[in-house]
């Protein structure tokens, strides 16, 4: 597994270990956010005798002996962040999101025991769209460099599946939240600012809408993909919790009992107004069905933040 120290990667690794899989995790602790947070994410995994950790950049590794005899490969590593992907930073996104994916797929094509390769993609590949986003009919037209690199990684998965018969599934995550969420992400910032009586920065007017997906539902989607009879394909992984940012802030206020101090700022380049997933394809082919609603998920994240001050 790549990106094993991240928000989703560490949660997925723990789930696999609980199901008695042996997990080899790779992470190079990029400085996008605190390395200490990532190291803490790995605490439980490192206690497990079936977990092997490799701290190295994927582009500097000989992957073939690591992949050899593996059944499943989960690629969770990426340079995240829509707003940071412009300008000079773009070369980091090309390296970490496109070149890394190409190297993994190139190495994987030589391993005949691989039953499934699951790639983490993003709803950012859709950009701004009307209505629900459907894998087979909604155009992919990202509005950020980040989204462009995630779409390129998806396309690499498709062409390796087509040309080398690799069993590649790409999962388009829609705004993942919950315990261990990255500190730069909205819910994490909103909750920490609220309980500290600090100003909450909202880019835009707060009426932008997102399809929010709880972390355990995303982990379940990965496990279902691993076990699925579907050999390849692209699937939306949404949570079915469609709310505006302003509605989320009101929920947080009700959960914490604290008033929000909100400062509205100009909309940022690359931010989309709305995401809403159609998950019928994932429901039909993967048996995916999100289970955690937004209220329960926010309460869980709030409790986790109380127990994990930065």
pLDDT band for position 49 (50/70/90)?
A: very high
Mean pLDDT, to the nearest integer, of 68-75?
Answer: 96
pLDDT confidence of residue 119: 98
Listed in sequence order, the residues at least 6 apart from 262 whose beta carbon sits closer than 8 Å to its beta carbon are: 199, 200, 202, 206, 249
Sign of CA dihedral 109, 113, 116, 122: negative
Mean pLDDT, to the nearest integer, of 138-158?
Answer: 97
pLDDT confidence of residue 287: 98
Listed in sequence order, the residues at least 6 apart from 155 whose beta carbon sits closer than 8 Å to its beta carbon are: none
Q: Which of 102, 134, 218, 229 is nearest to 171 (CA)?
A: 218
pLDDT band for position 32 (50/70/90)?
A: confident
197 token code pair: 């009586």
Q: Which of 283, 286, 277 is nearest to 118 (CA)?
A: 286
**What number of other Cβ atoms are within 10 A of residue 132's Cβ?**
17
> Facing residues of 2 across strands?
26, 75
CA atoms within 13 A on the CB side of 230: 25
Which tens digit of pLDDT belongs to each residue from 55-66?
999 999 999 999
**Residue 310: pLDDT over 80:** no
Read off φ and ψ for residue 262, nearest 5 degrees: -105, 135
Boundaries of every domain in the chain: 7-177+213-240+275-290
Listed in sequence order, the residues at least 6 apart from 70 whose beta carbon sits closer than 8 Å to its beta carbon are: 24, 111, 113, 114
Which tens digit of pLDDT belongs to each residue from 255-280?
999 999 999 999 988 889 999 999 99
**Contact at 8 Å (CB) between 215 and 188?**
no
**Residue 302: pLDDT over 80:** yes
pLDDT band for position 30 (50/70/90)?
A: confident
**Contact at 8 Å (CB) between 58 and 28?**
yes
Mean pLDDT of the chain: 96
Catalytic residues: 146
Q: For domain 7-177+213-240+275-290, give the fold.
A: Rossmann fold (3.40.50)
- Judged by DSSP in three states, 21 sits in coil
Long-range contacts of 183-188 (CB under 8 A, 24+ apart): 183/33, 183/34, 183/37, 183/310, 184/32, 184/33, 184/80, 184/81, 186/245, 186/248, 187/248, 187/252, 187/298, 187/301, 188/301, 188/305
**Residue 186: pLDDT over 80:** yes
pLDDT band for position 81 (50/70/90)?
A: confident
59 token code pair: 């582009």
Mean pLDDT, to the nearest integer, of 188-194?
Answer: 97
Q: Indicate the pTM of the whole model.
A: 0.96
pLDDT band for position 31 (50/70/90)?
A: confident
CA atoms within 13 A on the CB side of 40: 13
């Amino acid at each position: 597994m790549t990106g094993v120290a991240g928000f989703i990667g560490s949660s997925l690794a723990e789930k696999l270990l609980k199901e008695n899989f042996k997990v080899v995790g790779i992470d190079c602790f990029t400085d996008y956010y605190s390395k200490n947070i990532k190291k803490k994410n790995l605490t439980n995994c490192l206690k497990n005798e079936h977990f092997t950790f490799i701290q190295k950049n994927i582009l500097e590794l000989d992957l073939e002996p690591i992949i050899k005899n593996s059944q499943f490969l989960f690629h969770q590593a990426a340079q995240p962040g829509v707003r940071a992907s412009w300008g000079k930073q773009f070369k980091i996104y090309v390296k970490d999101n496109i070149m890394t994916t190409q190297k993994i797929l190139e190495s994987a094509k030589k391993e005949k025991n691989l039953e499934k390769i699951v790639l983490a993609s993003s709803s950012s590949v859709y950009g701004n769209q009307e209505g629900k986003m459907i894998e087979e009919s909604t155009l992919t037209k990202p509005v950020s460099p980040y989204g462009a690199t995630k779409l390129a990684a998806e396309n690499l998965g498709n062409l390796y599946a087509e040309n080398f018969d690799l069993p590649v599934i790409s999962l388009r995550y829609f705004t993942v939240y919950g315990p261990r969420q990255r500190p730069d992400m909205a819910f994490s910032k909103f909750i920490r600012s609220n309980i500290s009586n600090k100003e909450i920065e909202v880019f835009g007017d707060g009426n932008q809408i997102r399809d929010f997906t709880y972390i355990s539902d995303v982990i379940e989607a990965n496990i279902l993909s691993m076990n699925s009879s579907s050999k390849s394909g692209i699937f939306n992984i949404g949570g079915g919790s469609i709310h505006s940012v302003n509605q989320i802030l009101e929920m947080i206020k009700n959960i914490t009992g604290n008033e929000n101090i909100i400062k509205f700022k100009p909309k940022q380049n690359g931010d989309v107004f709305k995401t809403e997933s159609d998950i019928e394809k994932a429901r039909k082919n993967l048996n995916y069905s999100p289970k955690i609603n937004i209220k329960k998920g926010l309460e869980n994240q709030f409790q986790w933040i109380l127990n994990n001050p930065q």
